[in-house]
A and B are shown apart, each in its own frame.
Chain A
């Protein structure tokens, strides 16, 4: 009798060991899916950009000042697209970074629990609104307001796109900065108060410097997010690649160009089509560098208070 039990038990453990192994490998493969995604992105971008760089030299691409990809005579200097993107990013940053940091300081240092409970969900809602909605809002809500100040502003302009991109990245800046400020220990603030500082002096001269690495990291992440933003700038900023620093003009960003090529009737395999991958690759590299930089800043300059 005992032998029979022992035998079934052994068989069962053998079977469960098999299950064990199968499951382990199965979920390991799932975890690898994300690694394959990264390789997939790099592979696709590289493979399809090679035919482009056979015809256009890297120097011409990076430093050329004229982007004329879809009509003859073609010219593939990416600077106008890059400048369009930067115009949006800088505009958005000038609005969102100070406002986001100020909101974070207010929420973490001054606001009552009740105010926090109202403002934080609002920020979450703003973060959850789809980007195409912001594009619509820029086009039909903000541009008419800008036009009421100056009628010569075109329908598609960089300024209204910058404003909505600022609204989009604001929640991220505010909540990451809030986390960073919150992580500063109370004892540092109490030290400041004990020396007779006002609340503002404590916030600006003690808390903000102590949380600086988190604040800067959030700024870099916001920058990366704004560069990759697509729908709002495609809808609101226009489709004319231009070297300009005037936010009241119509421009084209890298992302908007990618959408234009992918949704237009560009012949598959032509150089214009392959230019999509060169621009996409540049976009990927810039955002990757920004993300890594933000990660490094957090790692390297984090003050430990334990």
Chain B
């Protein structure tokens, strides 16, 4: 029983085979391209660890930078980074979390507030070097703070502020409305509701966002290079008005040197920097997992 409709079947079948073959080829090439990123990460890590690992030692951590590669260390850079990060945290966390609370809990829908919102998302896209220009001109020169820890921290605070605000808003948004309503029902003022109930409930989410933002600040090089972190600061800062150097700056300076030994030193510095970042991110992930379990 052959009907004319079926006469095209062989042709259809051969086209189907072609289509299926193309589908497989496409799928596999997409797969290869996405595994490529793992390959790149692997190559990068192997490259850095193979040239930097031999430089990692106790002396490397506790020595000051030096012209002689075998005596050089990154103590002052490590301390500079610690100073910078704590100062940045002290400035950026209160301001960022308050902004997020304002936008989520207090702000009415009006022109000013939507302008603030658009402005924040725009700031998140401004290149970090532009913040460096701002810091150099405003903090270092106009406010005469000099190339100090404070100037660097203020600059980095402005840089990570949008990140903290956006993350905190997400966390505050996730607090169920019933908590607010029950607080109000018991006669709490808005201040009491927000600061005694909403903020504590949003805290884990905020902390995760803050840690990720701070770990971004640790790796930022261009802005603090602009405000004048100097290469050969041999002692750790003793106050927020002291000059400083930081891990990424030290890496940058070593990477620019022509001598091969400095290449190894730069790789060693990168290993230390990556370890610091790895620890901070682990803490953030721990907090996230813990609260996810508690909530489910």
Chain A binder among B64-72, B219-227, B288-296? B219-227
Cβ contact within 8 Å between B31 and A106: yes
B37 x A103 contact (CB < 8 A): yes
* Mask of B86-106 contacts with A, CB within 8 angstroms, 1/0: 000000001110110111001
State in angstroms the CA–CA spacing of A201 and B277 once bound together: 42
Q: Does A41 contact B (CB under 8 A)?
A: yes
Interface residue A113 (Cβ < 8 Å from any Cβ of B): no
Q: Are B119 and A35 in contact (CB under 8 A)?
A: yes
Q: Is the CB of B274 within 8 A of A27?
A: no
CB distance B189 to A200 under 8 Å? no
Q: When the two chains form the complex, which single residue of A44, A137, A255 contacts B134, counting CB atoms closer than 8 Å? A: A44
Contacts of A140 in B (CB 8 A): 47, 51, 255, 263, 266-267
Which residues of chain A are within 8 angstroms of B273 by Cβ–Cβ distance?
A: 130, 133
Closest Cβ of chain A to B192, distance in Å, is 8
Q: Are B23 and A198 in contact (CB under 8 A)?
A: yes
- Choose, from B3-11, B158-166, B237-245, the stretch at the interface: B158-166
Cβ contact of B125, chosen from A48, A129, A221, A258, cutoff 8 A? A221
Closest to B195 in A: A23
Residues of A within 8 A of B255 (CB): 132, 135-136, 139-140, 235
Q: Is the CB of A119 within 8 A of B35?
A: yes
A228 and B130: CB pair below 8 A? yes
* Stretch from A55-63, A66-74, A75-83, A282-290 at the B interface: A282-290
Name the residue on B nearest A295 (C-beta). B121
Q: Is B196 an interface residue (CB 8 A)?
A: no
Residues 36 to 75 of chain B near chain A (Cβ within 8 Å): 36-38, 40-41, 43-44, 47-48, 51
Q: Report Cα–Cα, A20/B189, bound state, in Å.
A: 8
Contacts of B176 in A (CB 8 A): none
Mask: chain A, 273-304; 1 = CB below 8 Å from B; 0 = not: 00011001001100110111001000000000
Inter-chain contact A255/B129, CB cutoff 8 Å: yes
B33 x A137 contact (CB < 8 A): no
Query: In the complex, what residues of A have CB within 8 A of residue B144's CB?
Result: none
Q: Which residues of A contact B123 (CB under 8 A)?
A: 34, 37-38
Nearest CB in chain B to that of A47: its residue:
B137
Chain A residue with minimal CB distance to B280? A128
Q: Are B221 and A284 within 8 A (Cβ)?
A: no
| Given A137-B44, A228-B128: A38 and B22 interface contact (C-beta under 8 Å) | no
Q: How far is the CA of A174 from the CA of B241 in the complex (A)?
A: 42
Within 8 Å CB of B174, what residues of A? none
- Contact status of A16 and B189, CB under 8 A, knowing A30-B95, A135-B252, A283-B127: yes
- With A27-B99, A235-B252 already in contact, the answer to whether A228 and B129 are too (CB < 8 A) is yes
User: Interface code A121-160, partner B: CB below 8 Å = 1, 0 otherwise?
Assistant: 0110110111111011101110000000000000000000
B206 in contact (CB, < 8 A) = no
Tell me, in angstroms, the Cα distance from A190 to B101 when the chains sit together. Answer: 42
The answer to whether A119 and B37 have CB atoms under 8 Å apart is: yes
A86 is an interface residue with CB less than 8 A from chain B? no
* A34 in contact with B130 (CB, 8 Å): no
- B101 near A27 (CB under 8 angstroms)? yes
Minimum CB–CB distance for A291 against chain B, Å: 4
Tell me if A33 and B99 are in contact (CB < 8 A): yes
Q: Which of A99, A255, A290 interacts with B36 by CB under 8 Å? A: A99
The chain A residue sitting closest to B124, CB to CB, is A291
A-B contact pairs, 27 of them (CB 8 A): A16-B192, A26-B98, A27-B101, A37-B161, A102-B33, A103-B36, A110-B30, A111-B31, A119-B34, A128-B215, A128-B216, A130-B218, A130-B220, A130-B273, A131-B221, A137-B44, A140-B267, A171-B37, A198-B22, A200-B23, A255-B129, A262-B225, A276-B133, A277-B137, A280-B133, A283-B129, A288-B122
Instruction: Give 20 new A-B contacts, CB below 8 A, not counting A122-B41, A174-B37.
Output: A16-B191, A26-B98, A31-B98, A38-B123, A99-B37, A102-B33, A103-B37, A106-B27, A106-B30, A122-B38, A135-B252, A140-B263, A141-B44, A201-B23, A203-B26, A225-B125, A255-B127, A255-B222, A283-B130, A287-B130
Residues of A that sit less than 8 Å from B by CB? 16-17, 19-20, 23-24, 26-28, 30-35, 37-38, 40-41, 44-45, 48, 98-99, 102-103, 105-107, 110-111, 118-119, 122-123, 125-126, 128-133, 135-137, 139-141, 167, 170-171, 174, 198-201, 203-204, 221, 224-225, 227-231, 234-235, 255, 258-259, 262-263, 268, 276-277, 280, 283-284, 287-288, 290-292, 295
